[in-house]
A and B are shown apart, each in its own frame.
Chain A
Amino acid sequence: MRDLATDGLDLLPSDVAYADIRVVYRRHEGLHVQDGRVSPVVDSESAGIGLRVLIGGQWGFAATSRTERAALAVLVDGAVGQARAAAGAGGGRRGLGDPVTTRACWSSPVVTDPFSVPLGDKVDLLLQASALMSGGASGGCRLTAEASMDFFRDRKVFANTEGAVIEQAITESGAGLLATATGGGDVQRRSYPQSVPRAIRGQRGDFATGGYEHVLGLDLLGNAGRVGEEASALLTAPQCPSETTTLIVSGTQMAQLVHETAGHAMEADRVLGTEASLSGATYATPQRRGSFRFGSDLVTVFADATLSGGLGTFGFDDEGVPGQRVDLVRGGVFRGYLSGRESAAAIGEAPTGASRADGWARVPLVRMTNVCLAPGESSLAEMVAGTERGVLIDMNRTLSIDDVRMSFRFGAEVGWEIRDGKVGRMLRNCSYSGVTPRFWAGCDAIGGPDEFRLYGIPSCNKGEPLQVAHIGHGTVPARFRNVRVGTR
C-alpha cells in the first residue's frame, strides 16, 4: 500500500502545486439478529485509491477501486484533467498553511481482535439478547427484537507531495439493541446503548475504536429485558404534555444535541460558504468568535481526537494533521472551529486535524472528531431532586435542525415526568424544540465527571457525494429551563 501511494505521487506532472494520495482498505463484518432469527451475515471488503491534486488553484480528485499499479496513471490523468479543466473558471486561490511532512505509523489499541472472535460466539450473544428483549413484551403488543454487532478495520496510507507518509490501522467495534413495539395504532421503540435517528439495519448501538472488549463491556444481556419492557410499556404510556417546562437531557440524548447544535455548527467549511447550498451555513461566524454567547457560563464544548476509545479518535486526519483537542465553546462563549488545512488557512489559523474522508473514494471534508460536553459539578440525581416540575428524556429518536444550526426539534424515545423532585410516570412521543443559543442559555446544571460517557456514532452524513463519518461524543446529563416540550 505504501509503495502504491508513493508511486502514484511520482507520476504527477510538474504543474501540480500540491497532491495527496490515500490508499485505503476497509473490512466490515455485520451481524444482525431479529426475533431469534439470524439475518444474512455481511462480510465486506473495500479497497481503493484516492488522489487529490491542486493545479492553478483548482482541485481535482479521482478515485478508483482498482489497486494495481496500472491504475495509477489513469488516476493521475483523471485528477489532473479535472483540475486543469477548471483552471479558467476563476476564483482559484487556495492556501493550505504550513506544509505537512509527518512520517509516522499509528494504530488504535485493540485487546481482542473482533474478527478473530468465533462467529458462533457473537451470534449466540445476539440471539440471547433478542430472546430477552422478546420476553419483555406485554399487553398483547407485537414486539420486534433486533440485536446487532458491527466491526470495521481500516488500514490506510496517506502520502503527499510535501513529504508526509503516514500509515494507520483503526479497528472499530460496536453493538446495539432495538425493540420496536406495535399495537393500538402506534409504534414505539427503545434502543440500547445508543440509537440512530434512521431505520438503519445494523450499525446501531454504541461504537468505539477498540476490539471485542467494547462489545462485552456494553452488557447487552443485562439490559435487553428492560429494553423490551420499556418499548411495550410506551404503547400505553401517557402522551408527553405540551408545555414550556424544565427539561433534563440524558447523556445519550445529549450526544445528538451536541452533535447538531455545536459540532456541525463549528465546522470551518460552513463559515466559508462552501457548504451553504448543501449542508448549510452556520451561526458561528468568525465575527462572532470570542463574543457569541452559545450558552450559559456552565457550558464548555470541546473536540478531542485523542480520547481513548472514541469513535472519532485517530492519530492523523486524512490530510496528515495530528489528532488534537480544541475548545469550541468555553464558559458559554463560542471559541473555536473544527478545521482542515484549507478552511483553517482561510480563517487565518492552524488546522485542528478534523479533515476526514469516507474511505478511499471521497475527498476529505471537515468532520467532527469526538465532540464533547465538558462535565460540570452536578449529577442526574441532583438535577431531578432540584426540579419541581419537568420532563426527563432519554435516547434520541429523531432530529431536525435548520441550515444555520439554529432552530431544532428533537424527538426522544422515552420521557419521564418529574414532579416535586422525583421521577414519575413514563411518557411517550416526547419532543422538544428550541433555538440554539436560547436553549443553551437555559442550561443551569451539568452532570459531573463520574457521569461522563463517550458514545460512538457511525452515521454522520455530509457532502456530495454523500460521506458517512464515524464520530464520537462525550456527554453528561444536563438540565435546561423554559424549554418547549410536547407531542407536537
Chain B
Amino acid sequence: MSEEGSGVECLVTRHGASPGIRLGAGAALEPDRIAAVVDMFGAGTSVQAELDRQDVTRFGASRIVYQHAEERLRLRICCRRGDREGWVLAESLDLDALAGLRDRMTAALSVLPPSGPVEMADAGPDPGERSSYYPATAADSAADRVGWFESVRDRLGSGVDLGGSVSRSVSEHVVADAGGLLRHEGRTRCGLMVVAARDGVSSYGKALHRDSASIDPVALADRVLADLPTGTAQELPSAPRVLLAPQAVATLLATFAQLAVGARELSGGASPLSDRFGQQVLSPLVSLHDDGADPSGMPTGFDCQGATKMPVELLRAGVPLAGVHDRTTAARDGVAGTGHAVPPGWRFGAGPAASHLLLDAGASADADLLAVLGDGVWVQRVDYVRVLQPRQALVTGTTRDATRLVRGGRVLGPVPQFRFTVRLDDLLRDVIAVGERRERSETVFMESVVAPAMVVRSLGDLEPTGR
C-alpha cells in the first residue's frame, strides 16, 4: 500500500452474509481486491463495486418466451485530482487493465478547468445487520423458476393466458474510499409477476421479496385469478370515486416521491413540496417514510456513496417534514446524510432520490374499502405514468389489467381502460380511506415501495383509451 493508501484495513463495517458469488470460475468480490483498486488510483479515490448475477424467466401466451442469466462485475471509480473529478466505469478487477484507465483519466483531468471542491457529509453510522441477503434466493436454479411458471400456469387452468416473469438476483456490493470507508453487503431479490388474461380482460399480480422462500406462487395465482374481471362489460362512469389497489398506489406514490422529496428538487424550488414543509398539504391519512432497514420493503444497508440508509419521516399525517439527501446535498445543507445517493449517470436524474418508500397502513379491510367506495371504479394497476408538469405534480397515465365497476360496494364487470390526468397532490389530498393490507412493489427508479390500497375522491380528468 502506498503512503496515500486506502486505509481500508480500518474496516468500518462488514455485515450480512456474504453471498460469495463468483463470476464463473473467477474470484468473488473480495474487499481486499477493492482496497487494491482504491490504493492504485490514489488519494481522493472512492470505489463502488457490484458483482451481480441476474436470472429471468419470461413467459407470455402461457409459454416460456426467453430465459436470461447475466453475471456482471461493475466498478465505478471516482477519481479526484485536486478540484477535478472523473468517473471510470469498468468491468474488471484486473489491475493492469485498470492502470490503463487510471492513466487515461489522469490525463483527461489534467486538461480540465477546476470545478471547485466537493464536500461530502459523513457516511453515517454502521448500518448493522439488515435482512438483505437470503441463501435460498441465491440457490435458486433455472429449474426452480420453470417450476414456478408451471405452478402458476397450472393453477390458472386452461383457457387463461399467462404472461409475466420470474426474476432472481444475487449481488454483492462494496463501497470503499481512500479515507478508510468500507461497506460490504450481499443482497438478494426475487420477483414474480403474473398477468392472467381471458376473453379480452386481464389481471395482474406481483410478489417481491429478498427471500424467495417467502413467495408463494400459487397464492399469487389465486389472487390474480380472483381479480380477473368477469361478467358483462360496463360503461365507465363520469368522474367516479376510485379504489386504487396497492400496486396502483405504489406506482403513483413512487412517482410523487421522485418529484417531491429529493433535496435538490426541494431546495431548487422544483418540488411540489418546496416551501410547504409544516403545512397540511396532503390528507391526514397519508403518512410516508423512507426506510432501508424496514423488512416490509427490500432492506438495504447503504447507498452507492457508502452512506447508511437512515429512516426518514417524509410526511406525517399529510404534513411534509423532510426530504432525502446524499452526502453532497447533506454537506451543502449542513445536515446529516440519509443514504439516498444515485449512481453517476443514473437514468432518472442526479438524485438524491427516495429508495425505500413505506406508506402507513390504514384501518380498512378490503371489504370495508369497497363499502366506503360505494359506487365507483376499482383500479388494479396504472401504467406509463409520466410527469406533465413537475412543480404541479401533474401526471398522466392509463389503467391496465383489471379495471372494474363497483356499485353499492359490489364488484361488477370490467370497464374500458382509461387515461387519467391528475395532480398527485390533489389525489393524495382527497383520500377517503386507506387499507390495512400492504403490498411490496418496486419501480425502475425505486428499490421498493410498500403501499396499501386507498379510496380517492377522483383520478382527475378521464379519457377513454379507444381500444
Q: Is B465 an interface residue (CB 8 A)?
A: yes
Does any Cβ of A come within 8 Å of B371's Cβ?
no
Q: Are B25 and A283 in contact (CB under 8 A)?
A: no
Given A400-B398, A407-B464, are A40 and B26 also a contact pair (CB < 8 Å)? no
Mark out the residues of chain A between 264 and 307 whose CB falls within 8 Å of any chain B CB in the assembled complex.
Answer: 272-278, 283
How far is it, in angstroms, between the C-alpha of A409 and the C-alpha of B104 when the chains are bound?
Answer: 45
Q: Are B269 and A65 in contact (CB under 8 A)?
A: no
CA of A485 to CA of B112, assembled, Å? 46
- Whether A409 contacts B165 in the complex (CB less than 8 A), given A48-B91, A119-B111, A361-B70, comes out as no
Q: B87–A42 contact, CB under 8 A?
A: yes
**Count of A-B residue pairs with CB < 8 Å:** 277
Q: Enumerate chain B residues within 8 angstroms of A63, measured Cβ to Cβ.
A: 68-72
Q: Are B24 and A40 in contact (CB under 8 A)?
A: no
Taking a contact as CB atoms closer than 8 A, the residue among A182, A273, A276, A404 that contacts B268 in the complex is: A182
Q: Which among B58, B61, B87, B146 is the interface contact of A43 at CB below 8 angstroms?
A: B87
Does A465 have its Cβ within 8 Å of any Cβ on chain B? yes
Residues of B within 8 A of A60 (CB): 67, 69, 142
B91 contact from A46, A75, A283, A438, Cβ within 8 A:
A46
Residues of B56-78 whose CB lies within 8 A of A? 56-73, 78
- Considering the chains assembled together, what is the distance between the CA atoms of A61 and B59 in angstroms? 14
Query: A residues within 8 A CB of B58?
Result: 274, 278, 464
User: Is B68 within 8 A of A466, CB to CB?
Assistant: no
Is B85's beta carbon under 8 Å from chain A? yes
Judge if B116 is at the interface, Cβ distance under 8 Å. yes
**Interface contact A407-B113, CB-CB below 8 Å:** no
Give the shortest distance, in Å, between B383 (CB) and chain A (any CB).
6
Given contacts A45-B89, A45-B90, A47-B91, contact A361 B142 (CB under 8 A): no
Q: How near does chain A come to B37, taking the closest CB pair, in angstroms?
A: 14
- Number of A residues near B (Cβ < 8 Å) is 93
Residue B126 lies at the interface, judged by CB distance under 8 Å to chain A: no
Please indicate the chain B residues that have their CB under 8 angstroms from the CB of A40 in the complex. Answer: 78, 85-87, 344
- CA A338 to CA B440, docked complex, whole Å: 36
Q: Is A245 an interface residue (CB 8 A)?
A: no
Between A41, A90, A272, A277, the greatest number of chain B beta carbons within 10 A of the residue's beta carbon is seen for A277
Known contacts: A64-B72, A85-B146. The answer to whether A402 contacts B467 by CB under 8 A is yes
User: Do B349 and A44 touch across chains, with their CB atoms under 8 A apart?
Assistant: no
A275 touches B60 (CB 8 A): yes
Docked-complex contact B149 and A89, CB < 8 angstroms: yes
The answer to whether A65 touches B72 (Cβ under 8 A) is yes
Do the beta carbons of B78 and A197 come within 8 Å of each other? no
B289 to chain A, nearest CB (A): 24
A60 to B67, CA, bound (A): 5
The answer to whether B90 and A403 touch across the interface, beta carbons within 8 angstroms, is no
Instruction: Please tell me if the beta carbons of A66 and B23 are within 8 angstroms of each other in the complex.
Output: yes
Q: Which of B71, B195, B392, B464 has the most CB of A within 10 A?
A: B71
Q: Which residues of B lie under 8 Å from residue A431 when comparing CB positions? A: 388, 396
* A401 proximal to B (CB < 8 A): yes
Inter-subunit contact B91/A65 (CB<8 Å): yes
In whole angstroms, what is the CA distance A275 to B165 when docked? 11
Residue on A nearest B51 in the bound complex, by CB: A65
Q: Identify A201's interface contact among B65, B350, B396, B417, CB under 8 A.
A: B350
Residues of chain A having any CB pair with chain B under 8 Å: 28, 30, 37-48, 58-66, 70-71, 74-75, 78-79, 81-83, 85-86, 88-92, 118-120, 123, 127, 142, 144, 180, 182-183, 185-187, 197-203, 272-278, 283, 361-363, 397-404, 406-407, 409, 411, 429, 431, 433, 435, 438, 459, 464-466, 468, 488
Closest 9 CB pairs of A and B: A91-B63, A277-B163, A74-B24, A407-B465, A435-B466, A44-B89, A199-B349, A274-B60, A277-B195
Using A187-B391, A277-B164 as known contacts, list a sample of 12 further A-B pairs with CB atoms less than 8 Å apart, ordered by residue number in A. A40-B78, A41-B87, A66-B23, A119-B112, A123-B112, A198-B347, A274-B61, A276-B163, A276-B197, A278-B58, A407-B418, A488-B460
Q: List 28 A-B contacts (CB under 8 A).
A: A28-B89, A40-B87, A40-B344, A41-B85, A46-B89, A48-B72, A59-B67, A60-B67, A60-B69, A65-B71, A65-B91, A71-B24, A71-B26, A79-B69, A85-B142, A91-B64, A119-B112, A123-B111, A182-B269, A182-B270, A185-B269, A198-B347, A199-B349, A200-B349, A274-B58, A274-B65, A276-B195, A466-B444
